[in-house]
Structure 1
């Protein structure tokens, strides 16, 4: 047992032999605690190599409205963290592999394990510093005699601008800026403010969400991959949830419809997380809270994973959503509108002509009525232990033909690098069996034309758009 005296108070921490600092909180850790800023409310940070938890527990006590991951590989130390943080509910003790790979942090604090060797240390820091959101900061305390200055130089050269924030009793506190921008001395994290991050979330927002979902939540970090929507991992005790913020007055009603549709899909056996809550935060923002599902995204499908995905698509026809948004109508309206007269960039004009030649004009109405995801791509599919764990991001759903979603899936399977001709063939055959040849060609033409028209207006996207459009068109040759 050791006493930690900080912030004008003292509290006891349980230690054990074989855990760093067992005889007392070391001077390096005290240097960090005295000079590094506290986390901002409604953010998530990580204490890397937490030991028995002096940094994590102090950060959690200083800022109860922030989530603190205490990451440690030593099982005995993890048990000590849980004991020492028993009255600090915003601290989560975890092995590195227990932290979701998609999670990103506003701040990183560490008295890093220098003795593991330079190469291992560099690999460890690159991994975890790479998980800071833009504008986030790392705070590393290192003994000068054990290479603090050379570590600072290496971080600078590696793309993580680093400066010395404090120097006490032979230790250096290094302030490391997340790669990609901001001023080291004036950035928000340098003054204890949140990083610019994927989006704004205020304590008042959390209070509103907690009131609407039966209890308070703690932000545990940002979830990478939400596109333009801010996405957060929240915690309440052992419960984990995904919070997505939607901008625009239209979304409040759409999320209400989504909650009903998700319930119906889940009743039919569809693999998607439950909706835990939804509502307005203000006139322009709404929130959706869903259960958290562990899994990973894939770059490609093999025959086994494809079977699971097509099994999910087969359930789309089991649900008849509200007609407020109809993806089939959107496709035919697009093709029968002015797209044939659009002035495409010369680099993609031949591809646009190939797509237009796939359909007769006017394009007849497509089948509709069942559930259509609208963005049924690999980035919205989670897999675990070889199976489909979850289909995500259903809130933009509408009604329509499942062929729309199968064509969305083709954008990944036709990739020249990660694609599989056999998988592509099976998706095409299944799409035709569900909607007919004309519906499939119309949906594919829509996808190609939407891609190359957008790239025409954003020329920096032309090369990638042409590659994807050509691969889709080649799938039907």
Structure 2
């Protein structure tokens, strides 16, 4: 066989041959190239055929993955059945990936992207998984493999798995159920079971890009894009990962008429920030979408990026990035300083906090005079400058993302926001350095007002979630200690 098909580099020569693939809805079968050292080298195996015939095609505007793609029959079939979806063809076998790329190109399935598992961004989530899993790697290894991929389904996503009945299909079904997945038999043909798997995750998520939306983005950028999946972390916004050839981008859908001028101002402001050395991804395009006040924002994707660190060196680099905001002065439509003072001067003084939080709320309110005077409001403010919006590469700050909610205000707001996101995790010396930077960016009174705002907002957020009380209380105490 020229080596086991689950090896990265199969042994022996890659003796090639041609097999035929039947795709539902197409009158003629397609030629696919196979080779020794790849699964199903003699023909399109029956299990793969069962999946192709009985599993539904991807929905338009979704990103799906074929786990253990081999030479690509499932990937090519699904890519052809739904050209408006992005299909990842994933395998550890590099010979298999090379064959899949050739076969997809020959078949005209230009929406198929080949990749080794570790090269797929860790934050990417898929709308559907297709797989004829590699039974021969052993039961425990296969369970670990499948669980890892099923954990990467987007909310509301599903999977179609085909397994030979005599090789443990029913035991796999039981394992899936015992592991908390909703699994049902979708088909039973030619000795194979096709299992349909759903996660128990909340299926509510923002609607994604439609084919019409993708055409709008194509006109704005002069190139065609496919959705390759959703990026974890999006809450109210739909955040999708797009591909165009070898290029990758992040697309967000923003709801509300006011996003039109806000995104236009962002484009100019981001260019000014970039000139100042502020590390933020390039804006590729933005504009209106069809529907009820929908807009899109397309930014360059940061490859090889990792979540933010909390060590002193990284946090010093983040504080330096905030320092580069000083000379950038966007238009005053969105005023973060005014929002802070409005919050502190509003009904928060009369709010009845949870009994366990009331003392901390009183301490936070005591940090500021009443009414709170206007805060400085001339500089660029990110508005959510936390570790969730910072990316690293090789331990260094590589990008600040999610700038679109920016406004004017004082840089102290962003530095206190960063403080709140790392308090309790970062070294004490790094926390003290950030606090000093936050005071230096304005003055002591502004620092205390921003600190009070951040503490009170966190206490409010915990009121309806008793399980968070202990953690929120701990962080609030640490933040309040910075004002002592």
**Partner residue, 1:66:** 85
Alignment counterpart, residue 331 of structure 2, candidates 312, 318, 322: 322
**Partner residue, 1:54:** 73
Alignment counterpart, residue 379 of structure 2, candidates 366, 370, 380: 370
Deviation at 1:126, TM superposition (A): 0.7
Q: Within the alignment, does 1:404 sit opposite 2:416 as a pair?
A: no
Separation (CA, whole Å) in 2 of partners of 1:264 and 1:471: 35
**Partner residue, 1:443:** 450
Per-residue CA deviation, residues 259-309 of structure 1 (Å, 9 max, x unaligned), is: 111111112211111111111113421111111112445464112212221
Per-residue CA deviation, residues 138-162 of structure 1 (Å, 9 max, x unaligned), is: 1111111111100100000101111
Alignment counterpart, residue 480 of structure 2, candidates 470, 473, 477: 473
Alignment counterpart, residue 204 of structure 1, candidates 212, 217, 223: 212
- Larger deviation, residues 324-333 vs 367-376: 324-333
**Partner residue, 1:264:** 272
Alignment counterpart, residue 348 of structure 1, candidates 354, 357, 360: 357
**Partner residue, 1:75:** 94
Separation (CA, whole Å) in 1 of partners of 2:94 and 2:460: 55
Deviation at 1:427, TM superposition (A): 0.5
Alignment counterpart, residue 43 of structure 2, candidates 24, 27, 43: 24
Q: How many residues align?
A: 462
Q: Within the alignment, does 1:253 sit opposite 2:271 as a pair?
A: no
Confirm or deny: 8 A CA contact 1:300 1:412 kept in the other structure.
no
Confirm or deny: 8 A CA contact 1:72 1:96 kept in the other structure.
yes
Deviation at 1:212, TM superposition (A): 1.9
Alignment counterpart, residue 179 of structure 2, candidates 158, 167, 175: 158
**Partner residue, 1:114:** 135
Per-residue CA deviation, residues 225-254 of structure 1 (Å, 9 max, x unaligned), is: 122111000111111110001111211111
* 3-state SS of paired residue (1:14): strand
Q: Within the alignment, does 1:13 sit opposite 2:32 as a pair?
A: yes
* 3-state SS of paired residue (1:405): helix
**Partner residue, 1:393:** 402
User: What is the 5 A alignment of 1:164-313?
Assistant: 164-180=185-201, 197-281=205-289, 282-298=291-307, 300-313=309-322
**Partner residue, 2:20:** 3
Deviation at 1:337, TM superposition (A): 2.9
* 3-state SS of paired residue (1:9): coil
Separation (CA, whole Å) in 1 of partners of 2:73 and 2:190: 19
Confirm or deny: 8 A CA contact 1:90 1:218 kept in the other structure.
yes
Change (3 A) 1:355 1:379: same
Change (3 A) 1:144 1:100: same
Change (3 A) 1:141 1:454: closer
Question: Where does structure 2 lack aligned partners over 5 or more consecutive residues?
Answer: 1-17
**Partner residue, 1:452:** 459
Change (3 A) 1:136 1:454: closer
Deviation at 1:476, TM superposition (A): 3.2
* 3-state SS of paired residue (2:344): helix
TM, length-normalised to structure 2: 0.92
Alignment counterpart, residue 346 of structure 2, candidates 332, 337, 353: 337
**Partner residue, 1:133:** 154
Confirm or deny: 8 A CA contact 1:279 1:286 kept in the other structure.
yes
Question: Where does structure 1 lack aligned partners over 5 or more consecutive residues?
Answer: 183-195
Separation (CA, whole Å) in 2 of partners of 1:180 and 1:13: 37
Deviation at 1:330, TM superposition (A): 1.6
Separation (CA, whole Å) in 2 of partners of 1:457 and 1:405: 26
Deviation at 1:466, TM superposition (A): 3.0
Deviation at 1:456, TM superposition (A): 3.8
* 3-state SS of paired residue (2:252): strand
Deviation at 1:361, TM superposition (A): 2.6
Separation (CA, whole Å) in 1 of partners of 2:61 and 2:328: 37
Confirm or deny: 8 A CA contact 2:309 2:392 kept in the other structure.
no
**Partner residue, 1:89:** 110
Per-residue CA deviation, residues 189-223 of structure 1 (Å, 9 max, x unaligned), is: xxxxxxx6442322112112222222221100011
* 3-state SS of paired residue (2:265): helix
Confirm or deny: 8 A CA contact 2:308 2:391 kept in the other structure.
no
Deviation at 1:458, TM superposition (A): 6.4
Change (3 A) 1:78 1:411: same
Q: CA RMSD in A?
A: 1.7
Confirm or deny: 8 A CA contact 1:413 1:423 kept in the other structure.
no
Confirm or deny: 8 A CA contact 1:294 1:384 kept in the other structure.
no
Per-residue CA deviation, residues 375-412 of structure 1 (Å, 9 max, x unaligned), is: 00011011111111110100000011111001111122
Alignment counterpart, residue 426 of structure 1, candidates 433, 444, 458: 433
**Partner residue, 2:3:** none
Alignment counterpart, residue 361 of structure 1, candidates 364, 370, 387: 370
Separation (CA, whole Å) in 1 of partners of 2:342 and 2:359: 22
